[in-house]
Structure 1
Amino acid sequence: MSSALIKRKRPKTAKAAVVGWRRILTRFWPEVRQEKFLLMLAWVGLLGEILAQLLEPWPLKLIFDHIIVPDATTLPLPIPFLNDLPELALLTVLTVAIVLATALKAGASYMSLVSLSIASSRIIAQIRAKLYGHLQRLSLSFHSKARNGDLITRIINDIDRLREVTITAAVPLVVNTLTLVSMVGVMFWMNAQLAFIGLLVFPLSILAATKLTKQIHQVARQQRQREGAMAATASEAINAIKVVQALSLEGMLETMFATDNTKSLEDVARTQQLSAGLQRTVEILVAVATAVVLWRGVQLVTTGGATPGDLLVFMTYLKTSFKPTKKLAKYMAAIAKATASGERIIDILDTVPEIRDVRGAVAAPRFAGQVSFRNVAFGYEPGTSILRGLSFEAQPGQRIALVGPSGGGKSTLVSLLLRLYDPIEGNILIDGHDLRQYQVESLRRQVSIVLQDSVLFAVRGINVRRDKGIFGATYQ
């Protein structure tokens, strides 16, 4: 197993975290591109939701300025025909507008969420299928060093985390960020002085969020590694339960599992602690900004520099503008975990099988059955050799028995014939041609083998065509 699967250097800055997401999007862009219609529909919904949030406080502003506390200096209504309506009719129109703005927001949000949910589910299904297929084709040298439980965690949990976070964290973060930018623009258009005052604490909140988010990402990646180790320990113990019980290993394995379990829970608690700390910090900063804007805004209203409706819109926008910052810890904690999960998936997909078709490999013809080993040397680990200078020939129809002590290389020899491994030196030929000249799948289809351990797969209706060795199965 490559070292990247064991330990990856953690991002130490927000920029590094962004690079991690860019790497994930680039790697899975072909799958994302196939769902471009649903993703475009989701973006339309996002824009509609942002527009609705911008419009939401304006009917209330007009009610304050033109009905509750009308002022002779108040500008005419932006829609001409509204100026001619009686007060009761105007109130009815504006209250209906509040409902319509909320309905627009709800409808756009629904369209965005549903479209994105369907698209993300399809994308994740393709990624999971690709990961599963790639794992099956990785060489035995990889699987002999990998831990099965960790691989299963990557296929199931890490994939699900990507889909879940896309809907519950990434999209809300994008919506709130775009809403923030839009509202800040409107605030400066309405009153630059109040907008500037309200945004004075924004750099402080970003600084606090950046610092704590880096720590959250580090803890999240560490937690994912511990969860993989726990899954691997449990899987290995269950698969070898006969050996565990025979050698009384229960206590030792329970201790190993409990240690990883405790540390994983500590990581979860640490993540929640960091998230809660950031949220409380931002809440205090928002309260300070709100108080200062209200203090100055009331002065402007009393001196005629702004209307009560203007102050109402400002306070609403200010509260909404800081919403993404208040929830940044929650979002970034989830996104950090998803980033770690995505990197773990890519680590496997980027692992190149040691045994693969060479350039120019052809489908193997029907074999006559002549097998030749010529000066073959092989070892599972560098510097150690199980086979050295092995040479022999087996003619078609000839029966040969390999006899030797356990670990002498009998099973290894058969594994080399199947190209489960490649020899370090020498050549293996069938009908006078090197095995590496043939496509791996076409070679293995023509070699029958009875393994030492029997494996029953959870499938039914298995049909075997003996002439081509093709298996077909249906799940119950």
Structure 2
Amino acid sequence: MKFSEIYKRYWPYIRGYKFQYVMVLIGILLTVTATAGTAQIMQPLMDNMFIKKEADMLYIIPALLVGIYVIKSLGRYLQAVYNTYIGMHIVSRLRENLLDKIVHMDMQFLYTNRSGELISRITNDIARIQYFVSTMMPELVRESLTVVALVGYVIYLNATLAFWALFVMPVLIFPIIKITKRLKRLSHRSQEKNADLMT
């Protein structure tokens, strides 16, 4: 299933939490900024503090590091709180809708489908939806922005190094794609085994 189809399917559930997603986005931006700031602070740490031995840097660098990690922790906190809020509320709505649908199902459907499979789908599938909505989607945005910020910083520092890094990275993607496909197949097998166990 394509990402656009997934997004379209879950949009009715997602659109009611715009404020929470804005807070998650603020948390992501704080985290990405702090991550880029950690990379930026390494140069004065090495050059001014260790090589030039500037005494002022003994106070400035630790204070900056504490500030960076406070910003990063605040960003992570906002993400964790609002992601959990969104996930729990969407899951409760999905379970209510699913319960209503199953209660009004034709009895023939309930006779032709194994009860274990239905229970497995109600519990496991909704848990996966919660993971997608509250964890996977924000992490995708956060990691994408982090990659963009760090790649931009590397290009700013050294364009030649950035060229080699960007040339090698696509080569590493192919094994990851193969691993992802295998994990997807294993996930389907796991779902079937859960249904058998429930039955």
TM-score by length of 1: 0.40
Q: Does 1:51 align with 2:18?
A: no
Q: Give CA deviations for 1:316-362 in whole Å, capped at 9, x if unaligned.
A: xxxxxxxxxxxxxxxxxxxxxxxxxxxxxxxxxxxxxxxxxxxxxxx
Are residues 226 and 67 of structure 1, via their aligned partners in 2, closer, same or farther at CA, if it must alter by over 3 Å? Answer: closer
Q: Does 1:216 align with 2:198?
A: no
Partner of 2:154: 187
Please list, as runs of the form range in 1=range in 2, the aligned pairs for 1:75-474 lying within 5 A after superposition.
87-164=54-131, 166-167=133-134, 169-231=136-198, 233=199
2:50 equivalent among 59, 64, 68? 68
Question: Percent of aligned pairs with the same residue?
Answer: 26
Determine if contact 1:187/1:195 at 8 Å carries over to the other structure: yes
Determine if contact 1:60/1:94 at 8 Å carries over to the other structure: no
Q: Say how many residue pairs are matched.
A: 199
Q: CA offset at residue 56 of structure 1?
A: 1.0
Determine if contact 2:86/2:134 at 8 Å carries over to the other structure: no
Q: Does 1:39 align with 2:39?
A: no
Are residues 60 and 188 of structure 1, via their aligned partners in 2, closer, same or farther at CA, if it must alter by over 3 Å? Answer: closer
Q: CA offset at residue 198 of structure 1?
A: 2.4
In our comparison, the structure showing a higher alpha carbon Rg is 1
**In structure 2, C-alpha distance between the alignment counterparts of 1:32 and 1:165, rounded to whole Å:** 11
Determine if contact 2:48/2:57 at 8 Å carries over to the other structure: no
**In structure 2, C-alpha distance between the alignment counterparts of 1:31 and 1:169, rounded to whole Å:** 16
Q: Give CA deviations for 1:454-476 in whole Å, capped at 9, x if unaligned.
A: xxxxxxxxxxxxxxxxxxxxxxx
Determine if contact 2:24/2:138 at 8 Å carries over to the other structure: no
Q: CA offset at residue 25 of structure 1?
A: 2.9
Q: Which runs of 4+ in 1 moved over 4 A?
A: 165-170
Determine if contact 1:53/1:179 at 8 Å carries over to the other structure: yes
**In structure 2, C-alpha distance between the alignment counterparts of 1:94 and 1:43, rounded to whole Å:** 28
**In structure 2, C-alpha distance between the alignment counterparts of 1:110 and 1:28, rounded to whole Å:** 25
Q: CA offset at residue 132 of structure 1?
A: 0.9
Greater length-normalized contact order (CA 8 Å, ≥ 6 residues apart): 2
Partner of 2:10: 28
**In structure 1, C-alpha distance between the alignment counterparts of 2:44 and 2:94, rounded to whole Å:** 51
Determine if contact 2:49/2:55 at 8 Å carries over to the other structure: no
**In structure 2, C-alpha distance between the alignment counterparts of 1:24 and 1:125, rounded to whole Å:** 19
**In structure 1, C-alpha distance between the alignment counterparts of 2:86 and 2:133, rounded to whole Å:** 11
Q: Any stretches of 5+ residues in structure 2 without a counterpart? A: none
Partner of 1:382: none
Determine if contact 1:60/1:98 at 8 Å carries over to the other structure: no
Determine if contact 2:120/2:191 at 8 Å carries over to the other structure: no
Q: CA offset at residue 157 of structure 1?
A: 2.4
Q: Any stretches of 5+ residues in structure 1 without a counterpart? A: 1-16, 71-85, 234-476
Letter in 1 for 2:102: L
**SS at 2:148 equivalent:** helix
Letter in 1 for 2:55: L
TM-score by length of 2: 0.90
Q: Give CA deviations for 1:163-183 in whole Å, capped at 9, x if unaligned.
A: 245555554343223211211
Letter in 1 for 2:32: I
**In structure 2, C-alpha distance between the alignment counterparts of 1:107 and 1:186, rounded to whole Å:** 23
